[in-house]
A and B are shown apart, each in its own frame.
Chain A
């Protein structure tokens, strides 16, 4: 029988044990329906997920978060809208549950109030792509706000137009002392020229690998993740509705049951509505490029990765990457 210790040497087994006890229970919260940007391709607005009555009473948020903690959530992922428009709600989460804030970086999270809250700044390419898709070059502002911050990284959403040109973006991030995680645009609003072609995905995979080799201290990633996210395949299976692990538990009626994140929910800002999954319900799951969903896909399928030493090492690297991004283990 294949066991972990029969597949791994001591170094890898130690790494495995460090993560196997983490038991991460995440859920996602739309902190607000408002945003200070309107990006083309933002699933939140394109899918109409903002059409709920936002809860404005802070005490209701606090009571809600307490219940979430009781439910076993140990990682609150705050999205929106733009979460930093509601610092009091951020504070309510931060005081109760380990919290990650996904922001566009235009407003600085005050570190005197949130000293070690993980912050992920969205970035959609170099300056030109950012102007086309987001109306402005946000890096110019976010880089000033967060330069050298040890609890912040860029979540770089690579677009098809960026293939062959991601190096300069990584260098800019390196120059301001931050780290970066790579994911791919899903193009929810069908912006012309931003659909993926197979040859672009193939080229990008190798470019991502190259960046990781060149900037191992800056790029928080691993090559197996690059393979999965660009091919949409894992262990001979294709990503899609029948495989996705990031579906809200109460809305998951798939038969047979799919290996999923335990007790995962994505809550709307009215604190009552739940969304189908970690992105939008209008997205075509077969072309979804969501990075966290693909990482989780690997993570919940551990035993399938016990076929060989290399497979299990790949699984460990993806899990470690996720744990680093949400600060369960150091960089």
Chain B
């Protein structure tokens, strides 16, 4: 279970999930730019986001609303979103 308080660790873990789910090549969790625009630069679409969201929901025990997808533009924003969701849960 990832440490939700460890933001850096969360970035690494979410990067790993994105790389695995999208089968990205030539990038590791260490080299994944957390501010890279996932739509404009990585070419991610709604279906990719839905795939990633499913895994994140399981991993972090949160619910990701489909209407929130446009907010999830970068790795950093995804992690901030997860933290926010976890905080409101408690």
Contact = CB atoms under 8 A, between A and B. Distances in A.
A259 interface: yes
Nearest to A23: B46
B42 A259 contact: no
B77 interface: no
B44 A1 contact: no
B47 A260 contact: yes
B27 A20 contact: no
A2 interface: yes
Nearest to B44: A303
Interface of A is mostly: loop
A292 interface: no
Nearest to A20: B39
Interface string B25-45: 111000100001001111111
B24 interface: yes
A17 B46 contact: no
Contacts of B55: none
Contacts of B22: 303
A303 B47 CA distance: 11
B57 to A, nearest CB: 16
A3 B46 contact: no
B43 A306 contact: yes
Interface residues of A, number: 18
Contacts of A20: 39-40
B46 A4 contact: no
B48 interface: yes
A262 B47 contact: yes
A170 B1 CA distance: 62
A3 B41 contact: yes
Contacts of B25: 1-2
Given A4-B41, A20-B40, A303 B48 contact: yes
Contacts of A276: none
Interface in A20-40: 20-21, 23
A259 B49 CA distance: 12
A169 interface: no
B47 A4 contact: no
A304 B26 CA distance: 15
B40 A1 contact: no
Of B24, B27, B45, most A-chain CB atoms within 10 Å: B45
Interface of A: 1-5, 16-17, 20-21, 23, 259-260, 262, 300, 302-303, 306, 312
Given A3-B42, A262-B47, 4 more contacts: A1-B26, A21-B39, A262-B46, A303-B44
Chain A to chain B: the 10 pairs with minimum beta-carbon distance, closest first: A1-B27, A3-B41, A1-B26, A306-B43, A303-B43, A4-B41, A302-B43, A262-B46, A302-B45, A4-B43
27 contacts: A1-B24, A1-B25, A1-B27, A1-B31, A3-B36, A3-B42, A3-B43, A4-B41, A4-B42, A5-B41, A16-B40, A17-B40, A20-B40, A21-B39, A23-B46, A259-B47, A262-B47, A262-B50, A302-B43, A302-B45, A303-B22, A303-B43, A303-B44, A303-B45, A303-B48, A306-B43, A312-B43
